[in-house]
Structure 1
């Protein structure tokens, strides 16, 4: 079976170089990142940190001169690059590493062509771009290596059971996904739940401190869990609140 071919396009002007290793590790879950393009003006001192990341991670620098002050030529060049790759039909998915909402129309266009769009940006990223992606991960959750104690300390900790259950938007999303993918017996295959969520939101379990949706589901305790097929498939069913039994009416003699 052929691996999903992913194109990673990086807007170096608007995202930290410290997260690129974590981004590549995350994308490895979905397929092979065979295109890695980093856009920016490589004469700028602002990109010094990025220069050090190019060769170790086999990233190709895409030079874009800043012809006019106040105009971001990098955006236009990156959009053209994405469309060229789209029409080449050699790519199965896109990853856009940027915190710039100007790429929102591009994300919409790529998804209209039937391709997933994985977004990676800083927490300052405007909501329109976040929601336009198939899934979106804040790069602060991916920064640093195991030896980087400062980066590890700054990573968001795993959300607790109460924190997950107190997030009404998350609870609504999970329950809706389970209801929409449930069989006649009320059980949902977690794989189908994940597909529904990816098609209807930019949710990623990583933003809550978990590597897998199943881990988040377990901690939330919002669902019954049934492991099937020798423990290889998780099925879930919402835990409904128990309704009090009706008290029989007393009849007068």
Structure 2
């Protein structure tokens, strides 16, 4: 019997060595508190997260605790005891729970282990020995070199999170006059486009076969369970995709089953070309004045020209990924400045 769509999805247990991640993100990226959202989105593309646990002495992470509770994460408290090692206690508890889940919950196919600590390398080896797939998650600056090669896949948090400061919020618009209908907000449609392109990009990067519409929608619902195309004026998901195809945001092809088309990005995307052209223009103007342009702060400069710019509209997870794509297309040149610790761009 063929597997149902849900049976084909990976079932993921997410276990976080939270103190390691939080300190690594704060010291290495200047991100505090730790934002679980990009991790959840990356895993949602890969399958269903059926367990979420984070291990720490939560008395040291009050704000983080509230955010994680809202994200439906089970908080495992490892209080600090006199004469004992809190770190070792948390590591041991997390390892014991992982092995217990592997033996007692056979339906869990994948473990996502959030840590940069090489002490977890034996755990990763054991889970793979038990025929479990292991996805590692860590901050680049605080991740041991021994850990990523031990995993089936490793996600650097640096590449998932956008650390570029947001552009200043625009001035609030005047309230509509009484008795007049409030106009619809274009941001609503843009949010749908970003969700579709971000999810499609993640599925396409996995390279494990064509992305069918049914698979795309399941992945979108894992990222946003409240998503409903009817709320955006479409009678079905297929109608939404056809609308996006008309706008040259996605391309549809014949799928393996009737009514379930294959979804991809258009081969020639005018909107994406315009975005790269905009980047080239901004880099060219700034380079005439300063020689080369640092990546940090560049997104704000682009947004001064186009306030609604977002690299996620074009399927890129971060502005750095967008800039690297521009370099690959010969739009700009880009080199790493070791002394400044930043990328520097110049016209191609």
TM-score by length of 1: 0.56
In structure 2, the CA distance between the partners of 1:111 and 1:54, relative to structure 1 (3 Å rule), is: same
1:128 maps to 146
2:56 maps to 40
Shift of 1:206: 7.2
SS in 1 for 2:49: strand
In structure 2, the CA distance between the partners of 1:103 and 1:206, relative to structure 1 (3 Å rule), is: farther
- The answer to whether the 8 A contact 1:118-1:136 is kept is yes
In structure 2, the CA distance between the partners of 1:34 and 1:145, relative to structure 1 (3 Å rule), is: farther
2:39 maps to 23
Q: Which one of 62, 67, 81 corresponds to residue 76 of structure 2?
A: 62
1:74 maps to 90
In structure 2, the CA distance between the partners of 1:6 and 1:127, relative to structure 1 (3 Å rule), is: same
2:166 maps to 149
In structure 2, the CA distance between the partners of 1:207 and 1:82, relative to structure 1 (3 Å rule), is: farther
- The answer to whether the 8 A contact 2:78-2:86 is kept is no
Aligned residues: 164
Q: Which one of 115, 138, 141 corresponds to residue 98 of structure 1?
A: 115
Where in structure 1 are there 5+ consecutive unaligned residues?
Answer: 151-189, 194-204, 222-253
Q: 1:1-253 counterparts in 2 under 5 A?
A: 1-2=5-6, 3-16=9-22, 17-42=33-58, 44-45=59-60, 47-67=61-81, 68-72=83-87, 73-88=89-104, 89-123=106-140, 124-144=142-162, 149=166, 191=207, 210=321, 219=328
- The answer to whether the 8 A contact 2:36-2:68 is kept is no
Where in structure 2 are there 5+ consecutive unaligned residues?
Answer: 23-32, 168-205, 210-315, 331-348
SS in 2 for 1:75: helix
Which has a greater percent of helix?
Answer: 2
Shift of 1:210: 4.8
TM-score by length of 2: 0.42
**Root-mean-square deviation (Å):** 3.2
Q: Quick one: distance in 1 between partners of 2:38 and 2:123?
A: 23
In structure 2, the CA distance between the partners of 1:142 and 1:112, relative to structure 1 (3 Å rule), is: same
Q: Quick one: distance in 1 between partners of 2:317 and 2:122?
A: 25
